[in-house]
Amino acid sequence: MQPGFSFTLDATDGAARAGVLTTPHGSVHTPLFMPVATAATVKGVDIGRVAETGAGMILSNAYHLHLRPGEALVEQAGGLAAFMGWRGPTLTDSGGFQVFSLARQVKVTEEGAFFRSHIDGTPAAFTPENSMRIQERIGADVAMQMDHVVALPAPRETVADAMRRSLRWAARCREAHRRPDQALFAIVQGGLEADLRAESATRLREIGFPGYAVGGLSVGEGPDAMVAALHATVPHLPIDRPRYLMGVGQPWDIVAAVAAGIDMFDCVLPTRCGRNSLVYTFAGPLRLRNAMHASDEAPLEADCPCVACRHGRRYLRHLFLAGEMLGPVLASIHNLTFYQRLVARLRAAIVAGRLVAEADSLLAGLRGSAARPGDSHG
């Protein structure tokens, strides 16, 4: 790793790990959940409240920041953390997923991705080299390689072609990356094909990176397929480097992924669900617009320290029914706090050597009686 970066393991329990990731902007414990600040803001929640949820590291997106306000302005402000008033570590996704999911008329060649901005339709291009330049100027502690993302399901030949292009792009990113105070993470691709995942992980390890992500999941493949892809990938990754599962996700998926050996997560669900009146609890998700909460004085969770839990469910329901903006804000804060409490419980269980029992207990509660909200990539 570069100077200022390290990853140490404090404990293991089966494949699960509890560790510490150290960056130039501070250290964070793993398992780790990163709130998503796509455009340098966690939707609806000011940066001070984000810190109060227990978050230690935040993710932003290079594609969105490049288009607006532009990496030059972020650099002028002193980098991503200073730009948004955050005092901890940050990570930028290269924008590969957004290029293919948001941009219009994308053309992919060996050189890179050529597309039109989803904002105003102006032509734009992402190559491994300019992706590195953009992320270096944005200045997050961790940058991600540019990768080729394909929608699933897809023919094996399509998945294999995109995976091998991602490998070639990874080598170009590694060569182009220059900033010594920024770690570059690789991204394993390969869809749901176990041998392609193994090939990708092995070849990325041979190139050598400070950290490794698992990409191309949480796109509707289902929890069993996701776990199978992780089991095909994780054994081929270095023990002494952090492992990051991109865009996941649901609380029960995080539990399963931690058990499979993943250290880092991000997802938009805490705030997206919060804005739509769905909140997570350890007894299952709650839909605050439901009439059953109309006269319920109980907090969302009695032992939750968040500001939302200073109010009763009936008040929170009222805010949503009245169209008051405070409702989505409080629900988002609660969900962000819940995710931090979840990974803290998983870490404590790993350290204590009781992850299997804790995972069984968590899953029994998390699934609850409410319907599971739909999966979404972060």
Using an 8 Å Cβ cutoff, are 237 and 212 in contact? yes
- Would you say residue 26 lies in a domain? no
Q: Does one domain contain both 300 and 341?
A: yes
Q: Does one domain contain both 302 and 243?
A: no
Q: Does one domain contain both 208 and 314?
A: no
- Would you say residue 377 lies in a domain? no
- Indicate the DSSP class of residue 293: G
Q: Does one domain contain both 87 and 190?
A: yes
Q: Does one domain contain both 98 and 153?
A: yes
Residue 222: the pLDDT is: 83
Count of beta carbons in the 10 Å neighbourhood of residue 346: 25
Return the amino acid letter for 210: P
Residue 370: the pLDDT is: 43
Cα–Cα dist 316/300, whole Å: 9
Q: Directed axis angle between helix 355-366 and helix 251-259, to 10°?
A: 160
Task: Return the ∠ at Cα 365 (arms to 264 and 299), rounded to 5°.
Answer: 95
Domain count, the chain: 2
- Would you say residue 105 lies in a domain? yes
Using an 8 Å Cβ cutoff, are 214 and 246 in contact? yes
- Nearest of 7, 40, 34, 1 to residue 240 by alpha carbon: 7
Query: Domain boundary at 219, 239, 267, which?
Result: 267
Q: Does one domain contain both 160 and 195?
A: yes
Please name the residue that has the structure tokens 């302005």: 73
- Would you say residue 50 lies in a domain? yes
CA distances from 156 to 1, 35, 197, 233 (A): 34, 33, 12, 17
Ordered per-residue pLDDT tens for the chain, 378 residues:
788 999 999 999 999 999 999 999 999 999 999 999 999 999 999 999 999 999 999 999 999 999 999 999 999 999 999 999 999 999 999 977 777 777 677 899 999 999 888 888 898 889 999 999 999 999 999 999 999 988 888 999 999 999 999 999 999 999 999 999 999 999 999 999 999 999 999 999 999 999 999 999 877 788 899 999 999 999 999 999 999 999 998 999 999 999 999 999 999 999 999 999 999 999 999 999 999 999 999 999 999 999 999 999 999 999 999 999 999 999 999 999 999 999 999 999 999 999 999 999 999 999 874 434 433 333
Q: Does one domain contain both 211 and 299?
A: no
The continuous run of DSSP H or E covering 291 comes out as none
Q: Does one domain contain both 88 and 230?
A: yes
Query: Domain boundary at 236, 267, 298, which?
Result: 267
Q: Which residues are catalytic?
A: 93, 266
- Would you say residue 231 lies in a domain? yes
- Would you say residue 90 lies in a domain? yes
CATH at residue 240: 3.20.20.105
- Would you say residue 325 lies in a domain? yes
Residue 368: the pLDDT is: 72
- Nearest of 158, 244, 166 to residue 199 by alpha carbon: 166
Hey, which bits of the chain come out as E strands?
Answer: 6-13, 16-23, 26-30, 32-35, 58-61, 90-93, 104-108, 113-116, 123-126, 142-144, 183-188, 211-214, 243-245, 264-267, 278-279, 286-287
Q: Does one domain contain both 142 and 232?
A: yes
Cα–Cα dist 45/58, whole Å: 13
Residue 95: the pLDDT is: 79
Cα–Cα dist 248/177, whole Å: 27
Query: Domain boundary at 249, 267, 285, which?
Result: 267
Q: Which domain holds residue 288?
A: 274-366
Cα–Cα dist 210/7, whole Å: 9
Return the amino acid letter for 362: L
- Would you say residue 362 lies in a domain? yes
Q: Does one domain contain both 284 and 258?
A: no
Q: Does one domain contain both 139 and 162?
A: yes
Using an 8 Å Cβ cutoff, are 20 and 38 in contact? no
Burial class (CB in 10 A: 0-12, 13-18, 19+), 110: exposed
Q: Does one domain contain both 120 and 244?
A: yes
